[in-house]
Structure 1
């Protein structure tokens, strides 16, 4: 797996997010209170809200537009809502956040 370094873990506040622009669109990279990192498409499938501006709680994010909740682990909508957001493999090494470059390259083919 080829990984791309997108920045330092400390650049994202705990329970916060950062937007990473790619050739295929924007990703929302989230940091949980316990320093786990997740990456999702930065677009809610309901009304296109920017998930990076949502509220992070546990391993979920709430869309800022209409309150849909998505699992950061699976990208699936929670509760009665139906839908999903594409997720991307991440890891943290030496305080740096890495995202799977292969997934980003294949994203446009999906």
Structure 2
């Protein structure tokens, strides 16, 4: 059973931007595309722990601000020649609010 938690208003995250969201179960980077889709990923790039929430959002990808690694917001996979992956978490928008799946956050905090 999915247990969604309300973390922010959609308008709190700019289009083609991101925010670091602190929850009681840990911090995640929440991204918003130009089409108002939302995605949630671990914030740390696996290369040098760059803060992905400070990266550039383009299409359904984010570019790490430290070394330009590009990650899919949908899968967390590094694109191009870079090898690596960041964890993704189910996110959705309902009534103008961003919701995250508590079950996945719990699994993350236990790892």
Question: Which residue of the partner structure matches residue 15 of structure 1?
Answer: 16
Structure 2 gaps, min length 5 = none
SS of the aligned residue for 2:80 comes to: coil
SS of the aligned residue for 2:14 comes to: coil
Cα-Cα RMSD = 1.0
Question: Which residue of the partner structure matches residue 40 of structure 1?
Answer: 41
Question: Which residue of the partner structure matches residue 87 of structure 2?
Answer: 86
TM-score (norm 2): 0.95
SS of the aligned residue for 1:108 comes to: helix
TM-score (norm 1): 0.96
The CA deviation string for residues 79-105 of structure 1, in whole angstroms up to 9 with x for no partner, is: 000000000000100000000000001
Question: Which residue of the partner structure matches residue 77 of structure 2?
Answer: 76
Flag as ranges the 4+ runs of structure 1 deviating above 4 A. none
In 2, distance between residues paired with 1:26 and 1:55? 19
Report how many aligned residue pairs link the two structures.
110
In 2, distance between residues paired with 1:84 and 1:45? 7
In 2, distance between residues paired with 1:24 and 1:91? 18
SS of the aligned residue for 1:30 comes to: strand
